[in-house]
A and B are shown apart, each in its own frame.
Chain A
Amino acid sequence: MAQRKAVRWHIPVFLAPAVLVYTAIMIIPLFGTLNLSLFNLDETKTRVFVGLANFATLFGDPRWSQSFWNALANNAWFFVVHMLVQNPIGILLAALLSSPRLRMAAFYRTAIFIPTILSFVIVGFVWKLILSPIWGIAPGLLDMVGLKSLFAPWLGKEEYALTTLALISVWQFVGIPMMLIYAALLSIPDEVIEAAEMDGVTGWSQFWKIKLPLILPSIGIISILTFVGNFNAFDLIYVSQGALAGPNFATDILGTFLYRTFFGFQLQLGDPHMGATIATAMFVIILVGVCFYLFAIQTRLRRYQF
């Protein structure tokens, strides 16, 4: 302790811009929202502290809780469809793309990734037109292969609407898991692959036994990105079904429920306090999900790494 360490000013200086901007536009509003959820208006329309009463309304009042659980269940299904369809397809596409014998890989990679950079508004509108029972090409295409009887106004039926929208979202975002897995596959050292070939492990068994364990951390990251993305989703549903998330709230997810409550809709006036309560519930759900991943799954994944 003879020599005092010089204060390393460059660290705070270089950190400052990011910390300040992030605090101003993320941390402060986040705590503002959490705080707002503890207040509500009394009879005289003045804002008073109500503790957890808003949460009691959200989970206790049959109407609020019914809407909330409906939105949460829909959201869970939205996530399940992404996990079961988007991510396996993404991995499959990445595996195909990384095959050295595939020609025009760059073209496919670009073509599959393009929908990801499209605006939600365009995607929602285009798919609504494609699936439209009146002007859409979907009924015509099905007719051409003699399957017209399979066509239904999917976006208008309670039983199909949410799954249809989830698949549209999958179509849009399948490029992201594909790219991440593709990058992970390319980073596998050639020695490992060569050693596997020497041992006679080739083709699909090579994929299952050698490559898949090595890309598991990437799959974990993709799962958590999908989870956060899905539970924050809003745009696609709002663009294609409106804030009432029809038919009969069958496509209502937490994002649209929050929007309707916070900003109001048509004759319904906005209620920032209940809106903040829903936002807080969403924050907690996502936080719990991310923590579960970080502590229960991420720690185990490390064993597979070199």
Chain B
Amino acid sequence: MKTTLRFALLASTLLAGAAQAEDVTLTIESWRNDDLAIWQEKLIPAFEAANPGIKIVFAPTAPAEYNAVLNSKLDAGSAGDLITCRPFDASLELYNKGQLADLSGLASMANFSDVAKSAWQTDDGAATFCVPMASVIHGFIYNADAFAQLGIEVPKTEAEFFAALDKIKADGTYIPMAMGTNDQWEAATMGYNNVGPNYWKGEEGRKSLIAGTQKLTDEAWVAPFRQLAKWKDYLGDGFEAQTYPDSQNLFTLGRAAIYPAGSWEISGFNTQAGFKMGAFAPPVAAEGDTCYISDHTDIALGMNAKSAHPEETKKFLEWVGSADFATLYANALPGFFSLNSTPVAMEDPLAQEFVSWRDKCQSTIRSTYQILSRGTPNLENETWNASANVIKGTETPEAAAQRLQDGLASWYEPQKAK
């Protein structure tokens, strides 16, 4: 008995010693399980080649579970060294709890504009706790072959947009628009926050809402719901039970003509779709109006404050903030547009189309993300439900807007009834 114990102790000591001599391994927590191959084949080898002695493991969880899983892991102390940061409050909360380290001192932070960093800063901007990686742009991706076949011009105004949808519907070969309401978030993210900025004039409306000078029941905020209510007639049969992957497949199989999209779809669609694709920005009310696009700061990388290897982790984050990484990342994942101040050359035509709107249109971020989703009921989550209801026709645009306003006013001081 005693000898066995002695052997066990000896063996564990030896093993521990061996482990110390090995390379430092850093683990990345992420919700981007779609990007696993890109991290493993392109990004991580590039870093490891330049930095011998540091090994990186990319360990993603499913997007819908990420926040819950990450919070539990951080509380339990078992989270990885590098934490992929959701924008705004979810990450701010982690920083306030001392779970994300302050990264303001990183040299590569100088490569990012204040707007790029705003999603991962304290409200006063004193501390930045994640290195910005990318933003995503909303718009519509269309089947260019189908448009050519039906003789449809790319719509610029709302009237042209609905005329195009009518024409596709009358022809009957294609489902006019691929979207379902089963998973709810597409209705809000690719619906409400996609077409909305044109109505509430981007940043102007978003900031007024935060300041309390505009309400969700104002025309500018109800009008996007009115447009969504009209979408119902152009969605496929049984769209109520259509999930997000269903919509993606309907479009890439060539059965639907228009897909309300986020630019993150580009790389997936490029490999799946066997036809030519194009993209157009959310149509404006009248020809020549200023267009507004949702150019949402979406993803960043932070450091677990309890990481056992802070030096190596910072080294990796410096690299993530460099122009080298920006070029690698933007080209490996067309549709995730770098937030780095250094211009990045992109090869993908669809990604170029999306990013070209930054020059023509005014950029804004999703209206519900900053500050307004801090309370209960949570405005973003309520917007999912309201947008899905409006598209299904089970709630009128006015009733949905009223419900959101009541919910927001119940806890958000500047919006409380005056």
Contact = CB atoms under 8 A, between A and B. Distances in A.
Given A266-B380, A266-B381, A134 B238 contact: yes
B227 interface: no
Contacts of A263: 67-68, 71-72
Interface in A140-164: 152-158
Contact of A248 (B93, B394, B410): B394
A238 B389 CA distance: 20
Interface string B255-272: 000000000000000000
Interface string A203-214: 000000000000
Interface in B249-294: 249-250
A247 B90 CA distance: 25
A206 B380 CA distance: 61
Contacts of A267: 86, 88-90, 368-369, 373, 378, 380-381
Contact of B241 (A133, A265, A266, A268): A133
Given A249-B385, A265-B68, A266-B380, A134 B250 contact: yes
A131 B241 contact: yes
A135 interface: yes
Given A263-B72, A264-B71, A134 B242 contact: yes
Interface string B89-103: 110010010000000
B67 A265 contact: yes
Given A156-B238, A156-B239, A271-B376, A247 B388 contact: yes
A44 B222 CA distance: 36
B241 A155 contact: yes
B264 to A, nearest CB: 16
Contact of A268 (B96, B240, B381, B407): B381
Chain B CB within 10 Å — which of A63, A247, A268 has the most? Answer: A268
A221 interface: no
Nearest to A62: B410
Query: How many interface residues does chain B have, given as a range?
Result: 35 or more
Contacts of A265: 64, 67-68, 381
A155 B181 CA distance: 11
Contacts of A128: 243
A70 interface: no
A215 interface: no
A248 B238 contact: no
Nearest to B188: A266
A135 B246 contact: yes
B242 A248 contact: no
A244 B381 contact: yes
A155 B236 contact: no
A177 interface: no
Given A63-B407, A268-B373, A268-B376, A153 B240 contact: yes
A243 B67 CA distance: 12
B237 interface: yes
Contact of A133 (B64, B184, B237, B410): B237
A263 B61 CA distance: 15
A156 B67 contact: no
Nearest to B66: A266
Given A63-B377, A267-B373, A132 B71 contact: no
A248 to B, nearest CB: 6
Contacts of B410: 63
Contacts of B90: 267, 269
B242 A156 contact: yes
A156 B181 contact: yes
Contacts of B246: 132, 134-135
Interface in A221-267: 241-244, 246-249, 263-267
B180 interface: yes
A244 B180 CA distance: 15
Contacts of A268: 373, 376, 378, 380-381
A264 B238 contact: no
A246 B388 contact: yes
A220 interface: no
Nearest to B97: A45
Interface in A153-196: 153-158
Contacts of B185: 266
A269 B89 contact: yes
B392 interface: yes
B174 interface: no
B64 A242 contact: yes
A266 B67 contact: yes
B177 to A, nearest CB: 14
A248 B385 contact: yes
A270 interface: yes
Nearest to B255: A134
A133 B238 contact: yes
Contacts of A271: 376
B160 interface: no
Contacts of B182: 155-156, 241, 246-247
B68 A156 contact: no
Contacts of B71: 263-264, 269-270
A52 B240 CA distance: 40
Nearest to A154: B241
A151 B368 CA distance: 37
Nearest to B386: A248
Interface in B28-72: 64, 67-68, 71-72
A152 B381 CA distance: 26
Contacts of B181: 156, 246-247
B129 interface: no
A248 B388 contact: yes
B378 to A, nearest CB: 4
B183 interface: yes
B180 A264 contact: no
Contact of B389 (A248, A266, A269): A248
A275 to B, nearest CB: 11
Chain B CB within 10 Å — which of A139, A153, A243, A267 has the most? Answer: A267
11 contacts: A134-B236, A134-B242, A135-B246, A244-B381, A247-B392, A247-B394, A264-B68, A267-B369, A267-B378, A268-B381, A269-B93
Closest 4 CB pairs of A and B: A133-B238, A156-B240, A156-B241, A153-B241
Interface of A: 45, 63, 128, 131-135, 139, 152-158, 241-244, 246-249, 263-271
Given A132-B242, A134-B236, A269-B71, 17 more contacts: A132-B246, A133-B236, A134-B237, A153-B238, A155-B182, A156-B242, A244-B384, A244-B385, A246-B388, A247-B181, A247-B392, A266-B64, A266-B378, A267-B380, A267-B381, A269-B67, A269-B90
